[in-house]
Amino acid sequence: MIKKFDKKDEESGSGSNPFQHLEKSAVLQEARIFNETPINPRRCLHILTKIIYLLNQGEHFGTTEATEAFFAMTRLFQSNDQTLRRMCYLTIKEMANISEDVIIVTSSLTKDMTGKEDVYRGPAIRALCRITDTTMLQAIERYMKQAIVDKVPSVSSSALVSSLHMVRMSYDVVKRWVNEAQEAASSDNIMVQYHALGLLYHLRKNDRLAVSKMLNKFTKSGLKSPFAYCMLIRIASRLLEETEGGHDSPLFDFIESCLRNKHEMVVYEAASAIVHMPNCTARELAPAVSVLQLFCSSPKAALRYAAVRTLNKVAMKHPSAVTACNLDLENLITDSNRSIATLAITTLLKTGSESSVDRLMKQISSFVSEISDEFKVVVVQAISALCQKYPRKHSVMMNFLSNMLRDDGGFEYKRAIVDCIISIIEENPESKETGLAHLCEFIEDCEHTVLATKILHLLGREGPRTPSPSKYIRFIFNRVVLESEAVRAAAVSALAKFGAQNDDLLPSVLVLMQRCMMDSDDEVRDRATFYMNVLQQKQKALNAAYIFNGLSVSVPGLEKSLHQYTLEPSEKPFDMKTVPLATTTVSEQKTELAPVASSKLPEKLAPSRQDIYQEQLAAIPEFQGLGPLFKSSEPVQLTEAETEYVVRCIKHTFASHMVFQFDCTNTLNDQLLQKVVVQMEPSEAYEIVQYVPAASLPYSQPGSCYSLVRLPEDDPTAVSCTFSCTMKYLVRDCDPNTGEPDDDGYDDEYVLEDLEVTVADHIQKVLKPNFAAAWEEVGDEFEKEETFALASVRTLEEAVNNIVSFLGMQPCERSDKVPENKNSHILFLAGKALRLFVWASCNIVICVMP
Amino acid sequence: MDFMALEPSLYTVKAVLILDNDGNRLLSKYYDTELYPSIKEQKNFEKSVFNKSHKADNEIAFLEGLTIVYKSSVDLFFYVVGSAQENELMLMMVLNCLFDTLSQILRKNVEKRYLLDNLDGVYLVVDEIIDGGIILESDPQQVIQKVNYRVLQSAKEQIKWSILK
């Protein structure tokens, strides 16, 4: 049913849409009237509108029907109705990609473009350029050049803009029109100036000198167009950045002068450009900042928003420059536009001084309840940054954060707050008790299982070490009684840790644990029974292994080993030692998040680097019987940069072997390398077992070859070794253009840098949350004490870093952070060397030589 | 955090949208083809934008890494979308030009029914203001002259024309 042209229905509801129930086939059927004569402009217009509406709504047109409709539309060129003609141009542009043979309208469009009706010429040019391809472009080149310098502004603009669109397709052709564009740039019309400038820049942007000259000319000649000014400012800042020009150059002066332009748009563009420049001094920033300050009190929301957003960016690099605006920013906290208010708050948080923290917190608390969750998270993150800056203010901020925690809010918001509190606790030992107390209060009434379990684990870890641990037990045990299974299970684990660490609490904990054994959920009962038994043994070693320090193996690795075990029925019980260790995850750096609305968090656990290598190596038949991969090193470069062959090595350690993976790249395009191996000569008792060559290395396609080496069994101390490496291969010269190699080749070799295997390669980092317990667990029997002099090291920090990288062990309990102004420091390290765990407690002392 | 200024370019507008007061699309042109290439993504974006803007008439918002300036009138919502680092005032000029031009052409009745009755004129206006993401014209008077569109006067006149086939 063709839609009704419901003109009479103007009274019937303002919500009705005459286009709502259009049917594509019906509309296309109607389009047949285009072929009738005489042409009825009104009706044809309406049908064209319907077609474009359908296209805009996403309706799919098949090629045949689109082409049919397109051809029918071309009949409408016979009419002289202006609006109809313009709509035809529009339809051509809309259907250019879905119809075939669109170039049939070229002659009609060319006629209109050069005709007498000025009102057709601009749009006709734009339509024509939309359907033109490279060959056709040369045919209409003459017309385009004339159009660019035409006196009618709309014609010139249309030609310039279309030329810019076509640069991607035909840079060489459009480049020939640069003189015409230059002439157009001296037009009086403000839009033509803008378009000409844009085209000229785009054509010349790879030639810095040309851009520079162009800028000089235009900045002196005083354009009128505010758009052109904005463009000039951007070009100038880009040029300054590329040439690393000093701020005394005329380019900078030009931008600075734009701060006094009469158009707000230009003033803002200039301020924004100055503020974004690297290495700006406070003096240079000052005029830009004062302009932005003025904008903060503008009645136009867009101006206020622009100003506050830019000030927010300045505050990251130069907080002192923004302090002058603090009062204006505080006024914006109550702005009706919530984006503006949030930006104002986060800026103040960055620039706030220690004394203003209290006042800021008060202001924020009134404001936070009104903004959306998205913004609340942004604010919390800004507070977190502030906490790190002013650690002494932790009690004020902790109070404030706990108040926020009590208010309503979504999961992301509460999580951000909990993370913030946890980071304060970790950074600042003084705040620990208050922080834990606040978190306890929170879990009394927390609906988010993830957060409750996280906090319970934290309590279990930190609570036992506080002066009066018993007060936390009540909170934890309440969770066991009241909450869901996951939370109850976490509470049981936390309780066990208290029992293990505090002997006087142990009897009470055992009683509570007994009660937990009656729980309705099996996970809870299992854990309670398990911990109960472990605790009753009262042995430190067991406590350490099973209660304090959890699973140290990699979870995907464990899964795979278990699966393997179930596939091959065996008499022997499953051996945990066959599972590769977890590689410790690098803690993420805290990145600044300015208002970025949607941050999609990766949900799945990505396989670690080691798991990926394990898979790759397992695929190579020669390496089948080696057992699980213990450790893979970071890549080591064996060639300098810019050499003919680029080689780097990754060392994979197994139980009694090492596999060296050489990733090689051939950077010579006139050579093809084949049968590539890296021959190794060891300095110690390592035995080369086998080489797995890379079959072929064409130009710039990386390939890998491997060497299998057996570790010396008789001498366990011979861990370090130096290998001299030579790459040997068959080389065939080939044609650089086609890559076709010659038939015969010759053997050749290429000397690489020596490869070192050190202690660190045999040690895997293991993170132990509770170092003291693990240390006690080992007992004195295996302890060895030595003193070393570190001659070339100057500072404690350097010493710590060197020891960590030499031994390849994992620093525990954050002992890698050296507090300032200390002369000695104790570093806790943990690692695993194949079958043995290694602990090291290093007491580093600075000695002053007399 | 992107501290580098945008590459100087004339391509400043990423999209223009006109939605009704239920958030349905009446007209939308996406000039940046990489932005939301499929219809589904476009419709999702329009829904988010509408949800964010229709409650509070705040003029400017930030969503999904884009700056959006908007204006509403009776039962219509007009949006101009640019990148987050774009000059917001430039986007406002485009929005104002669009709105003022339509305002004049539709004789101050900037409302859904009237807009849809003259949708061809609206298409032409948008085409004259922005071409492929480049601002073509910013002065409403110039746009009106170029489009030279005669609004349909009344229901009676429309009936008259449709009879005269």
Query: How confident is the model over B140-153, as pLDDT tens digits?
Result: 999 998 888 877 65
For chain B, give percent helix, strand, coil, nearest 5. 40, 20, 35
Q: Contact A269/A258 with Cβ under 8 angstroms?
A: yes
Cβ separation B113–A10 shorter than 8 A: yes
Binary contact (B60, A57; C-beta < 8 A):
no
- Tell me the per-residue pLDDT of B96-119, one tens digit each, with 9 for 90 and over: 999 999 999 988 888 898 899 899
Cβ neighbours of A158 in B, within 8 Å: 131, 136
pLDDT tens digits, one per residue of A515-554? 888 888 888 888 888 888 888 887 777 776 677 666 667 7
DSSP string covering A789-846: --TT--SHHHHHHHHHHHHTPEE-TTTTSPPTT-SEEEEEEEEEETTEEEEEEEEEE-
- The minimum CA-CA distance between A2 and chain B, rounded to whole Å, is 15
For testing contact with chain A, the best of B60, B91, B93 (most A CBs within 10 A): B60
- % of chain A surpassing 90 pLDDT: 18
Q: Which of A757, A773, A800 is the last residue of a domain?
A: A757
From chain B, pick out residues whose CB is under 8 angstroms from the CB of A301. Answer: 58-60
Say what the pLDDT of residue A326 is.
85
- Shared domain for A701 and A789, answered yes or no, is no
Length of chain B (residues): 165
Output the pTM of the full model. 0.65
**Does a structural domain hold residue A625?**
yes
Please indicate, yes or no, whether residues A804 and A728 belong to a single structural domain of this protein: no
Closest residue in B to A271 (Cα–Cα): B87
pLDDT in tens, A712-761: 776 666 667 888 888 888 888 887 777 677 778 888 888 888 888 887 77
Q: Which of A21, A44, A45, A49 to mutate to test the interface with B (most CBs of B within 10 A)?
A: A49
Sign of the dihedral defined by the CA atoms of residues A176, A179, A182, A188, in that order: negative
Q: What average pLDDT does this structure show over A487-505?
A: 83
Greatest C-alpha distance within chain B: 63
Searching chain A, which residue's CA lies closest to the CA of residue B127? Answer: A90
Task: Flag whether residue A318 sits within 8 Å of chain B, measured between CB atoms.
Answer: no
- Weakest-pLDDT range from A294-298, A447-451, A594-598: A594-598
* pLDDT at residue A585 tops 50: no
Chain A residues closer than 8 Å to B39 by CB: 58
Closest residue on chain A to B146 (Cα):
A119
Hey, what are A766's tokens? Answer: 């293991």
Please count the structural domains in chain A: 3
Residue A164, chain B, CB below 8 Å: the answer is yes
If asked whether residues A626 and A514 sit together in one domain, one would say: no
Asked if A164 and B116 come within 8 Å (Cβ–Cβ), the reply is no
Side chain identity, residue A603: E
- Which one of A514, A538, A562 terminates a domain? A538
How does pLDDT run across B57-73, given as a tens digit for each residue?
Answer: 678 888 888 899 999 88
If asked whether residues A620 and A752 sit together in one domain, one would say yes
For residue A471, is it within any domain?
Answer: yes
* pLDDT number for residue B135: 95
Q: Does a structural domain hold residue A626? A: yes
Q: Which domain holds residue A525?
A: 446-538
Whether A712 and A748 share a structural domain? yes
Q: Do B148 and A82 touch (CB under 8 A)?
A: yes
CB contact under 8 A, B155 and A82: no
Q: What is the arithmetic mean of pLDDT over A73-91?
A: 91
Residue-wise pLDDT for A652-690, tens only, equals 888 788 888 888 888 887 888 888 888 888 877 788 888
Residue type, A310: T
Query: What is the per-residue pLDDT across A47-73, written as a single tens digit (0 to 9) for each?
Result: 999 999 999 998 889 999 899 999 999
Distances (CA, A) of A25 to A3, A67, A455, B36: 12, 14, 62, 27
The answer to whether residues A580 and A564 touch, using CB atoms and an 8 Å cutoff, is: no
Neighbours of A208 (CB within 10 A): 12
CA-based nearest residue in chain B for residue A239: B8
Q: Give the residue from A447, A446, A378, A449 showing the smallest Cα distance to A416.
A: A378
Q: Say which CATH number the domain at A710 has.
A: 2.60.40.1480
| A677: amino acid identity, one letter | V
Percent of chain A whose pLDDT exceeds 70: 91
pLDDT 10s digits, A405-457: 888 778 888 888 888 888 888 887 788 888 888 888 888 888 888 888 888 88
pLDDT band at A196 (very low <50, low <70, confident <90, very high): very high
User: Which residues 329-358 on chain A approach chain B with CB closer than 8 angstroms?
Assistant: 336-339
Please tell me whether residues A491 and A620 are part of one structural domain.
no
Q: State the nearest Cα–Cα gap between A58 and chain B, in angstroms.
A: 6
Task: Tell if the CB–CB gap between A43 and B137 is shorter than 8 Å.
Answer: no
Contact by Cβ (8 Å): A443, A405 = no
Provide DSSP, A107-125.
HHHHHHHTSS-HHHHHHHH
Residue A13 is assigned to a structural domain of this protein: no
What confidence score (pLDDT) does residue A604 get? 40
Banded model confidence at residue A383, pLDDT cuts 50, 70, 90: confident
Residue A389 falls inside a structural domain: no
pLDDT at site A120: 92
Write the DSSP assignment of A615-679 as a string of letters: HHHHTSGGGGGG-S--EEPPPEE-S-TT-SEEEEEEEEE-SSEEEEEEEEEE--TTEEEEEEEEE
Within a 10 A sphere around the Cβ of A265, how many other Cβ atoms?
A: 22
At residue A608, the pLDDT reads 65
CA distance A424 to A159: 61
- Shared domain for A638 and A751, answered yes or no, is yes
Residues A209-239: tens digit of each pLDDT: 888 888 888 888 777 889 999 999 999 988 8
Residue labelled with tokens 């900045």: A219
Kindly give, in sequence order, each residue whose CB lies less than 8 Å from that of residue A471, ignoring residues fewer than 6 positions away. none
Q: Are residues A488 and A512 in the same domain?
A: yes
Token readout for A433 is: 């008790």
Buried b (16+ CB within 10 A) or exposed e, B3-39: eebbebbbbbbbbbbbbbbebbbbbbbbbbeebbeee
- Candidates A694, A619, A706, A608; CA nearest to A658 is A706
Q: Is there a domain that residue A792 lies in?
A: yes
Encode pLDDT of A6-43 as tens digits.
444 444 444 468 888 888 888 988 888 888 888 888 89
pLDDT digits (tens, 9 = 90+) for B84-93: 889 999 999 9
pLDDT tens for each residue of A328-345: 888 888 888 888 888 888
pLDDT digit string (tens) for A118-137?
A: 889 999 999 999 999 888 88
Helix axes A264-276, A250-257, angle to 10 degrees: 140
What's the whole-number mean pLDDT along residues A465-470? 81
Within-domain flag for A143 = no
Question: Nearest CA of chain A to the CA of B67: how many Å?
Answer: 10
Q: Does A367 touch chain B (CB under 8 A)?
A: no
Mutate to test the interface with A, among B32, B80, B134, B158 (most CBs of A within 10 A): B134
Q: At what angle do helices A82-95 and A106-113 cross, to 10 degrees?
A: 130
Sign of CA dihedral A547, A553, A554, A557: negative
- Say whether residue A194 is in contact with chain B using an 8 A CB cutoff: yes
pLDDT band at A591 (very low <50, low <70, confident <90, very high): very low
Of A293-307, A457-471, B73-87, least confident by mean pLDDT is A457-471
Would you mind telling me the total number of residues written for chain A in this entry?
A: 850
Distance from CA of A84 to the nearest CA of B (A): 9
In three state form, how does the secondary structure of A216-245 look?
HHHHHHCCCCHHHHHHHHHHHHHHHHHHCC
Contact residues for A689 (Cβ-Cβ < 8 A; gap 6+): A657, A708, A709, A710
Residues A738 and A785 in one domain: no
Measured between beta carbons, the chain B residues lying within 8 angstroms of A591 are 1
Reduce the secondary structure of A639-653 to three states and give it as a string: CCCCCCEEEEEEEEE
Q: What is the model's pLDDT at position A217?
A: 87
Q: How far is A276 from chain B (nearest CA, A)?
A: 6
Using DSSP's 3-state secondary structure scheme, residue A70 falls into helix
Q: Does one domain contain both A659 and A748?
A: yes
Mean pLDDT of A504-510: 83
Domain boundary among A701, A733, A757: A757
Residue A631 forms part of a structural domain:
yes
Name which of B6, B58, B120 is nearest A87 (Cβ-Cβ). Answer: B120
Please give the structure tokens belonging to residue A279: 């290495």
Q: What gap in Å lies between CA A91 and CA A105, rounded to an integer?
A: 12
Question: pLDDT digits over B21-52, tens only?
Answer: 899 999 999 999 888 989 999 999 999 899 88
Residues A626 and A531 grouped into a single domain:
no
Per-residue confidence (pLDDT) for residue A389, from 0 to 100: 79
Radius of gyration of chain B (CA): 17
Pair A676, A749 in one domain = yes
